[in-house]
Every structure is written in C-alpha cells, then in structure tokens.
C-alpha cells in the first residue's frame, strides 16, 4: 500500500476516538456572517458546541482558501498553497466541515469544491477567518455531546490537527450512539473503519461529515488520482455487511490534488491510505 514518510514517529494508537451521543439536524447558515460564526450559531441553537456538517449549493463571499501543495522544507510531508481570495460570490458544489475549538475558541476544518465568480472550478481548504456567508443556504449537521474536536499539536505530522477529546455534556437532545474519530496517516481509509466497527460489535454505521486527505486516490469507477497530496471531503459514507456478510465501508468522496486536479467517486477498499488526517463522526444504526 502507498505510504508517505511523516516527519515524526507514528504513535501506537492509529485511530483517535471517543464515544459520544449525537443527533442529526439541518439548519440555514445566515447571510452576512463569517462562515465560522454562522455554523457555530446553528449548532448552538440545537444545544451543541461541536459536530460535523455537509452542504451542497451555497454562496460565499468574501472567500479565502488554500489548496494542497508540496512542502518546501522537511518539516512537513506536504503543505498548503498561498491564500486565494477570489472576487465576487463563490458558489459551492459540495463541502464538509468539522466544528470544534482551536486555542480555546470556536474553529472549523472545512474542505469542498466550488465555482468562482469568473467560472473557474476549484476546491480546497476554506479559511475560517476569511470566509463569509454571502446568501443563506441549508446544511445537514450532526451534533455531538460528550466529545469535542479540538486542534492540538500532532508530533507525527508536525501540524496542529483536529482530534476528539472528552467534553462535558451540554444536555443537548440526542438520539444516537456516536463515535468521534480521527484517523492517523498511512492506513487504509475503509479498512481501518471496518476494523474499528468489528472490534466494537457495530453492525451498521453512517458517516457524518468527513474532512481529511488521502495519498492520491483510487476509485471504483476506474479513475486514479496520482498526485499524492489531496484535500478531501466525504460526500456519503456507510459501514454495513457486504455480500459475504463481512463489514464493508462505502466511501464516496470529492477531492482536489496539489496540481488542481478534481476527482469524485467511491474509493476502492484497501487502496486509499490516509495522508495527514481524516476526521468524521460514526453514527451507530440500530
């Protein structure tokens, strides 16, 4: 399987996880607010301080983002591009966000694909402090209670990355057993989720959110992304018994690589290792 050498030593625990309670809901992001504040308010209105969300058609402006890029030093295996600030209103096609905290304040990690005002198709990593909601748009969210995604220094990748940590219960109404996860580098995306569920007797689970990166990508439709550094959003995902009764993860994703190549589709199980990180929430079904 493909792998990328990280600057730091790998830790033994390859999935950082916490069990929590959660609930799915939808809300509308308010126009004229920073994207971070609009998302925070939507979760807070339902009693949550953290969670994940996904969206399709939205409008952003002002808008700031970065793309994946090669690292110019040996301090990171890959890095970010310069900041892009397209004029006018950018129309999103899809996106996925993790909402949590960084340095004691609300923060998000968000990847997506979009079309800029001049018609240019692009994607990448949205900047929390440089992006506003231009027009109201609806998002699908999943709040978690009892866990919080918090950005902390990660010696393995030498980045400050979101991962789940324990948090006091807020008393929000919840409906489901859920797990907040962060997958570490150089393990197959699908296989490690399948193993995680097998070890806990989870027969079916739905993925909510999903922000991270893979080492290129191999798709079931035959498509291949060769450039190794990507920014990825999960568009749909589930773990359930396959034809032989064995758990299988179905992972539909969209990504952009460091050359600007865009790809979408279902990942091949066993051939798509994580590059830096992958954050998501698993909702246990049944």
Q: Residue 115 and residue 65: Cα distance in Å, rounded?
A: 13
Do residues 62 and 16 lie in contact, with contact meaning Cβ atoms separated by under 8 Å? no
Identify the band that residue 286 occupies on the pLDDT scale cut at 50, 70 and 90: confident
Whole-number Cα distances in Å, 269 to 192, 194, 214, 273: 10, 10, 13, 10
Query: In the chain, what are the domain boundaries?
Result: 21-143, 176-284
Beta bridge partners of 19: 179
Query: Residue 119: which residues within 8 A CB-CB, separation 6 or more?
Result: none
Mean local confidence (pLDDT), 72-87: 97
Q: What is the pLDDT of residues 18-42, one digit of tens each?
A: 999 999 999 999 999 999 999 999 9
What is the SS3 assignment for 116?
A: coil
Top CATH class of 21-143 equals alpha beta
pLDDT at 255 over 90: yes
In this prediction the pTM is 0.97
Identify the band that residue 266 occupies on the pLDDT scale cut at 50, 70 and 90: very high
Q: What is the pLDDT of residues 94-126, one digit of tens each?
A: 999 999 999 999 999 999 999 999 999 999 999
* Domain 21-143 and domain 176-284 have a common topology: yes
Q: What is the DSSP string of 47-68?
A: T-S-EEEEESSEEESS--EE-E
* 176-284: in CATH 3.30.930.10: no
Do residues 16 and 182 lie in contact, with contact meaning Cβ atoms separated by under 8 Å? yes
Beta bridge partners of 122: 114
Identify the band that residue 243 occupies on the pLDDT scale cut at 50, 70 and 90: confident
Mean local confidence (pLDDT), 159-166: 98
Place of tokens 């992972």: 251
Mean local confidence (pLDDT), 212-216: 98
Query: Residue 278 phi/psi, 5° resolution?
Result: -150, 115
Whole-number Cα distances in Å, 38 to 47, 131, 134: 15, 11, 11
Q: What is the pLDDT of residues 187-210, one digit of tens each?
A: 999 999 999 999 999 999 999 999
**Nearest CA among 229, 261, 274, 255 for reference residue 68:** 229
**Nearest CA among 161, 160, 157, 162 for reference residue 147:** 162
> Could you count the other beta carbons within 10 Å of the beta carbon of residue 156?
18
**Nearest CA among 153, 143, 258, 241 for reference residue 201:** 241
Q: For residue 227, what are its two tokens?
A: 């450039």
Query: Residue 175 phi/psi, 5° resolution?
Result: -130, -15
């Amino acid at each position: 399987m493909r792998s990328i050498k990280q600057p730091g030593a790998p830790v033994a625990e390859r999935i950082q996880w916490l069990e929590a309670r959660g609930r799915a809901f939808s809300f509308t992001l308010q126009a004229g607010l920073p994207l971070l504040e609009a998302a925070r308010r939507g979760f807070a209105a339902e009693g949550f301080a953290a969670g994940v969300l996904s969206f399709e058609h939205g409008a952003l402006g002002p808008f700031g983002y970065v793309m994946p890029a090669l690292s110019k030093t040996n301090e990171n295996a890959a890095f970010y591009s310069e900041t892009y600030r397209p004029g006018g209103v950018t129309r999103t096609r899809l996106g996925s966000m993790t909402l949590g905290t960084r340095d004691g304040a609300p923060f998000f990690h968000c990847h997506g694909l979009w079309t800029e005002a001049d018609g240019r198709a692009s994607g990448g990593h949205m900047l929390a402090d440089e992006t506003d909601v231009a027009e109201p748009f609806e998002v699908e969210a999943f709040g978690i209670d009892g866990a919080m995604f918090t950005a902390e220094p990660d010696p393995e990748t030498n980045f400050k990355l979101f991962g789940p940590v324990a948090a006091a219960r807020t008393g929000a109404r919840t409906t489901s057993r859920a797990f907040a996860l962060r997958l570490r580098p150089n393990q197959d995306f699908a296989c490690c989720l399948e193993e995680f569920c097998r070890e806990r007797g989870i027969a079916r689970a739905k993925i909510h959110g999903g922000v991270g990166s893979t080492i290129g990508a191999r798709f079931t439709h035959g498509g291949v992304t060769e450039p190794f550094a990507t920014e990825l959003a999960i568009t749909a995902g589930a773990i359930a018994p396959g034809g032989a009764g064995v758990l299988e993860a179905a992972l539909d994703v969209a990504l952009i690589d460091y050359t600007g190549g865009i790809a979408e589709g279902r990942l091949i199980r066993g051939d798509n290792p994580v590059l830096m990180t992958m954050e998501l929430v698993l909702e246990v079904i049944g």
